[in-house]
Amino acid sequence: MLDDLKKIWYPIASSSDLPKRHVYHAQLLGREFAVWRADDGNVNVWENRCLHRGVRLSIGINEGTELRCQYHGWRYANRTAGCTYIPAHPADAPSRTICNNTYPMKEFMGMVWSGEETFGDPTYFENFDEFTVLRPIPINANFDLVKELVKSKYDKLNYLCKDEVNGAFSVTFERSETILFFVQPQDSNLSVLRGVANKALEGAKKISFLKMHNQILQNSRQEIEKISKTMKNNPMIAQISNVSVELSELPEKSEKNRQANLRVMVSEKIKTAEGIVSIKFEALDGQLPTFQPGAHIDLHLQSGLIRQYSLVNGPGETNFYNIGVKLEEESAGGSSYIHNNLRVGDVLACSTPRNNFPLRRDSVKTIFVAGGIGLTPLLAMAQALNVMNLNYEFHYFVKNAKHIAFSSILEKSKDKVFIHEGFSPSLTVEKLSRILSKRQKSMNLYVCGPGPMLEATRRVASELSWPDKSIHFEYFKNNNEIDDSSCFEIELARSALTLNVPSGKSVLEVLRENGIDLPSSCEQGACGTCKVNVIEGEVDHQDVYLNDSEKLEGNIMMTCVSRALSNRLILDI
C-alpha cells in the first residue's frame, strides 16, 4: 500500500512557499524534504539530511547556487546535490561521489510536485492554464479520512464532486468554476489539503474567494480532527537509505583511468577574445556530475586526441560545462580542431571532472595570477570566493585588450580584478614583485599561465618568502624533455608485486600492462592525476605538478613521466 503511494506525484509545496533564498521543509509519506529554489529558478527537492552528520538541510542556508549545511559548512550544488566543498579539509577536493539524495520535481498549477519513486509523468489537468492556489490546510488526520469528509462537506453544500486520478477530487461550482483538491499524506495521521481553482483571480475578488474556501475548509478541519482523535494509525517510517560502502569509510582516493564516461553536446560556441572560444556542453541525458573550482575534464575529440580543459563555471552552474580554448599556433590538432571543426550540436565523450588543483577557502586573502588562457581555472575559483564573500585579488596578464576572455564574468567582480595589458617579461616581474610583496600569514597564491610566466611568478613569490605550500600552480603542459632511458624495478607494497620498468616505458604503462588500473589524464606530468605515494627509493621527478619541496621530500611521484634514480622504488599501491 505504502509502496503504491510512493509512485504517485503529490504536491508538496505551493510555489509561493519558495521565496528567494528560502529553504522549505516539506514532508511526504513520512519522509522529510528540503525544498529550495536556486537563483536560476531551478527547484531542488532533496532528502532533508546532510550526509555527513544528519543535520536537517531545511535549516541550512540557500546561497542561491548552493545549499550550505549549518553544522560544518558543507556545500551542495544546485541540481546535482553533489558536495563541492568540505571546509574542515580546505586543501582537498571532496570526493565527487558525495551526493545527497534527490527526488523528482515538477512545478505546475502554482505547486511543487514530487514523490519518492514516481512513475512516469504527473497528470496534467486540462483547463488549468490559469489558476488560483488556495491556502493549504494542514490537518491532523489520515489522508483517506480527509478526502472523504471534505468531499461530503462540499456535497452537503450541493456542489458537484467528482473523483479524479490518484486520490484527487474536483468540486465544480455554478459558473463552471472548478477546484481540484489534492490530499498530501505527510504521515499516516498528518495531511495537507491543497486546492487549486481554474481561474486567475486578482485583488479583492481573489481575497474574498480565498476567504470563503478557507472558512469552509477550516470548519471541516475541526470536524475531521475531532473524528481523527478516536482513530489510531502507526506512523510511517521512512527508510534511511545507505550511503555506499566507499563513503561510509574514512576517505581514500580512487578513480578510474582515462575513461570518458560522459556524453556531452556542444550547446554554445562563441568567440570570447582574440583566438579564444568559449564552449558550453550540456549532458545528452541526465545530470552532469558535480565539479569543484579548479577541476578539469578530459575531452575526447572526434579526431582521436584527448585534451584537458579547466571548467570556468561558477558555483551552482551545474547544467552545463563551460571551457575556454585558445588556438595554439603549434597546435597538434586539438585546439585547431575545436576552433575550426567543432559545431553546436556535436556530441563528444568526456571524463567526469577531476580536481587536482583544489582551492583552499581558509585564506585571509587569495591572490590569483592568470596569464592568457590560464585564467580559466582561476575564474572558477574567484566565482566560488565571490559567493562566500571571501577576500581576493585577481591579476590577469594579457597581450592587449582584445585578448581579454570571459569579460562578462570578470565584469561581475570589477573591484577585485586587475588587468595588466602588454607587459614585457621584465615589467611583468616588476609588477609581480609589487603584487606579491603584501604577503601576510594565511594567504594563498594561485597561478596559471604560460610556462615562463608561471616560473617567474613562482620565483618572485619564493624570493618574497611565500612558503611553498602557499603557492599553488597549474601548468598547461610539461615543457621538460622527458628522459625515459633509465630502467629500474618497482615493488608494489599493497599488491605484493615486483615489476621491471624498462627504458622507453613509463611506470604508468608498466602498471597498466599488469592489470593495475591507475587513473591518469594528461600523461605528460602536468595535471597530477596519476600520482602515487612512494614508500622507499629515490625518485627522478620529471613532472611540473609537484613543487620543489614536495619533490625534495620524495613521497609522491607522477607515474606518467617520473622514474627512479635508485635501482628500486617501493610504491604504495
Which residue's CB is nearer to other proteins, number 91 or number 284?
91
What Rg, from alpha-carbon coordinates, does the chain have?
29
**Which residue bears the cell 609522491?**
556
Which region holds residue 560: left if phi is over 0, alpha if psi is between -120 and 50, else beta?
alpha
Cell numbers found for residue 220: 471541516
Are 489 and 499 contacting, i.e. CB atoms less than 8 angstroms apart?
A: yes
| 30 part of the interface to other proteins, by CB under 8 A | no
Instruction: Kindly tell me which of 97 and 259 has the beta carbon lying closer to other proteins.
Output: 97
Beta strands 306-310; 296-300: pairing state: antiparallel
Of these, 72, 162, 469, 568, which contacts other proteins (CB under 8 A)? 72
What's the half-sphere exposure (Cβ side, CA atoms, 13 Å) at 404?
Answer: 15
The number of residues making up the chain comes to: 573
- Letters for 217-246 (x = contact with other proteins by CB under 8 A, - = none) are -----------------------x-xx-x-
Does 67 contact other proteins by CB under 8 A? no
Helix residue spans in 157-284 (DSSP H): 203-228, 245-248
Tell the residue number behind the cell numbers 551526493, with chain if given: 99
Q: How many residues bind other proteins (CB under 8 A)?
A: 37
Site string for other proteins, 339-368 (x = CB under 8 A): ----------------------xxxx----
Does residue number 420 form part of the binding site for other proteins (CB under 8 A)?
A: no
Which string of DSSP letters, residue by residue, matches 314-370? Answer: PTT--S-EEEEEE--TT--SHHHHHHHT--TT-EEEEPPPB-SSPPP---SEEEEEE
Least separation in angstroms between residue 573's CB and other proteins is 21
Does 91 sit near other proteins (CB under 8 A)?
Answer: yes
Q: Map residue 567 onto helix, strand or coil.
A: coil
Q: End-to-end CA distance of the chain, in Å? A: 50
Binding of other proteins by 52 (CB under 8 A): yes
- Whole-angstrom Cα distance, residue 59 to residue 410? 33
Q: Is 333 one of the binding residues for other proteins (CB under 8 A)?
A: no
54 binds other proteins (CB under 8 A): yes
Which has the closest alpha carbon to 240: 127, 116, 385? 116
Q: Which is nearer to other proteins, 389 or 485 (CB)?
A: 389
User: Shortest distance, CB of residue 526 to other proteins, whole angstroms?
Assistant: 27
Choice from 15, 17, 71, 267 touching other proteins (CB under 8 A): 71
Smallest gap from Cβ 440 to other proteins, in A, equals: 12
Examine residue 98 and tell whether it contacts other proteins (CB under 8 A). yes
Cell of 307: 585534451
* 31 contributes a contact to other proteins by CB under 8 A: no
Of the pair 246, 513, the CB lying nearest other proteins is at: 246
Among the residue ranges 44-52, 276-284, 480-488, 507-515, the one whose residues contact other proteins (CB under 8 A): 44-52
Residues that bind other proteins (CB under 8 A): 32, 48-49, 51-56, 59, 70-73, 86-91, 98, 240, 242-243, 245, 247-251, 361-364, 388, 390, 442
